[in-house]
Amino acid sequence: MKTVYRAQAYIEAGANGIMIHSKEKTADEVITFCKECAKFTDRVPLVVVPSTYSQTTEDELVKAGVSIVIYANHLLRSAYPAMVQVAESILRNGRAAEAEDLCMPIKDIISLIPERS
């Protein structure tokens, strides 16, 4: 597995962590990689982005040696369908009133903006 040798080289060069990415539908490739990394004398945190192998639980990944799980695009991917639903409602009704229940209240949005001192 070439990626294991590359990971070891990165660690020897001073990397603070290794991010593992896979296009496979299961985490098998990632878990195999983690098991190989566990044999290293010098280890760093292993980071994964389970976009394609979303059936795998965090517990399974942690058990394999993963330190950080990043859900990199799930929020963005879920936001788009919600925006389409609101846009369709506005177009269908000619106003935004029917879409209000699908939206966060403006006062809640404003509360997310920190006050400047």
Structure tokens at 82: 């919600």
Residue 74's alpha-carbon distances to 57, 69, 96, in angstroms, are 15, 12, 26
**Looking at the predicted structure, is the pLDDT value of residue 1 above 70?**
no
C-alpha closest to that of 19 among 55, 72, 60, 74: 72
pLDDT per position as a tens digit, 21-55: 899 999 999 999 999 999 999 999 999 999 999 99
Amino acid at residue number 108: D
The percent of the chain in helix, strand and coil, each rounded to the nearest 5, is 50, 5, 40
Structure tokens at 59: 């517990």
Q: Identify the sign of the CA torsion 86, 91, 96, 101.
A: negative
pLDDT per position as a tens digit, 56-87: 999 999 999 999 999 988 888 999 999 999 99
**Looking at the predicted structure, is the pLDDT value of residue 3 above 90?**
no
